[in-house]
Amino acid sequence: MVAVMWFRRDLRIEDNTALKHAFEESKNLILLFHVNPEQFLNPASKNEAAFFKSVEVFQKELQKQGATLQLVYGSLESCFVKLKKEIPDWTDLYVNRDEQGYGLERDRVAGKLLKELGVKAHAYHDHYLHSAQEIKTNSQTHYKVFTPYYLKWIERPKPSVVQVAFDREKLMNPALFLEDNKKFEDHLHKNISITNHPVGSAAAKQTLNSFIENKLFKYEEARDFPLEDATSHLSHHIRTGEISIRTIFERVNQAPPSKGKDTFIKELAWRDFYNMVYVTHPNQKKEPVNPTFRFVNWENNEQAFNSWKEGKTGFPIVDAAMRQLKELGWMHNRLRMITASFLTKDLLIDWRWGERYFQEQLIDYDAASNIGGWQWAASTGTDGVPYFRIFNPTTQSERFDKEGLFIKKYVPELRGIENKKIHDPSQLTAVEQDKFGVIIGKDYPKPIVDHKMRRKAAIEAYEESKAIYQQEEK
């Protein structure tokens, strides 16, 4: 009898629910990772490059433990059929299940396939503190608003850290699929290089320790200021499962009381909330959760979209944020809100365009959280920002980058500006432009839109959608 532990977005040995059960219940265990080329098609994607870098590091971590991560490459059906042919005694598969999106559909296909192969599947909840079905209203319906969800969430006991008895004696390390390993290495070399962010379980634990010791207590006050670098930087480790959400919660919960601690734990609740929203609205990547705004007449100007992507809108805080994303594959959370609001409200470009671009660029891309965030900013999601509340990029810049130092870090054209007009360089006089060494319209673009006018246009577009929806509902 042979069992297989199928790793996906749980690239760790410690605190891994499926792996714990696999070791406890198996006598012979194979560790496996499946690469589906149909899922990963974009070698220019920072998202994919970062994920596969984590797989490579995890493979090396296992080697240090005397274990081999078997890499299979191809369609799920061909890989599992090939595995059963190579290992006829394969009887059980252990996995941490997905509740939504691509992962859910993949698991449905896998379940049917495993049944045909005579392999029993053992699937466990592992990726969230609470599954989508755990936190419900008193009438057993799913919440639509975060605050009442959170009030119930915070009262519920949290799952404990799982102890994995890693037993090398049970591991089978056959020389399987050497050709598939070569394909994976070729795939890795095609991807762009990701060097800005450390990956792996050791790096994840170090990042968590540093955050708790140096940043957690001031997280509430400092997290909105991008230059302060006061966020946890755990998101890409959580996304790959290099550290478990239980470990993070337990460590943070043990820290001394502070507003920062409470705020960070609330962020973990938002993560669970957005997972629940995706489970209850499985089409939310393509459709607005709030049907009231499905008739918004998006302008979808390609030139404006490219200016936004390249960080050349003429709004410094937006441009600095978008250049940070392009350079690092990561963006500060406050800036994610500002840039999403600008795209959807100032440019009236469909939020789905922005969501797809972030999916390609973000090394910490998580579908539930990213889609949830974009629908929040676009006012199309559950508990989204009201459509008439539109971020003013200039005032946001003045508030969260008062001295313009973050702007200067990513928009070098503006480094010479010595006054508050760095937040709106279009206000510089000809004398100031000459003095500061930046000619607006030449060295740095003029604003591509007038915010006041676009705010009015956005409100009208949303109100028109609302009117059409109400008419249809009659």
> Which residues sit in the known binding site?
219, 231-235, 264, 267-274, 364-366
Question: Which two three-digit tokens encode residue 12?
Answer: 């760790």
Q: Could you give the angle at which helices 367-377 and 333-341 cross, rounded to 10 degrees?
A: 50
**Amino acid code (one letter) for 412:** P
Residue numbers in the known binding site for FAD are: 219, 231-235, 264, 267-274, 364-366
**Amino acid code (one letter) for 331:** M
Q: Which of 56, 220, 267, 360 is catalytic?
A: 267
Is 213 one of the catalytic residues? no
Is 270 one of the catalytic residues? yes
Q: Which residues contact 400 (CB under 8 A, 6 or more apart)?
A: 224, 225, 226, 317, 334
What letter would DSSP give residue 405?
A: H
The closest of 387, 141, 365 to 288, measured between CA atoms, is 387
Is 253 one of the catalytic residues? no
Task: Report how far apart the first and last C-alpha atoms of the chain are (Å, whole number).
Answer: 62
The closest of 231, 234, 215 to 223, measured between CA atoms, is 231
Query: How crowded is residue 30: how many other Cβ atoms within 10 Å of its Cβ?
Result: 25
Q: Which of 42, 173, 220, 270 is catalytic?
A: 270
Q: Which of 36, 173, 301, 333 is catalytic?
A: 333
| C-alpha span between 185 and 233 (Å, rounded) | 27
Q: Is 18 helix (H, G, I), strand (E, B) or coil?
A: helix
As to burial, measured by CB atoms within 10 angstroms (0-12 exposed, 13-18 middle, 19+ buried), residue 470 is exposed
Taking the CA atoms of residue 218, residue 223, residue 228 and residue 232 in that order, the dihedral angle to the nearest 10 degrees is 80
Q: Which of 153, 351, 353, 376 is catalytic?
A: 351
| C-alpha span between 371 and 284 (Å, rounded) | 7
Q: How far is CA 248 from CA 210, 253, 317, 359, in A?
A: 12, 8, 31, 24
Is 298 one of the catalytic residues? yes
Question: Which two three-digit tokens encode residue 192?
Answer: 């762009």
Q: Which of 36, 298, 392, 432 is catalytic?
A: 298
Cβ atoms 349, 458 nearer than 8 A = no
Is 333 one of the catalytic residues? yes
**Amino acid code (one letter) for 96:** N
Is 330 one of the catalytic residues? no
**Amino acid code (one letter) for 42:** N
The closest of 161, 175, 182, 149 to 254, measured between CA atoms, is 161
Taking the CA atoms of residue 213, residue 219, residue 224 and residue 230 in that order, the dihedral angle to the nearest 10 degrees is 0
Q: Which residues are known to be catalytic?
A: 267, 270, 298, 333, 351, 374
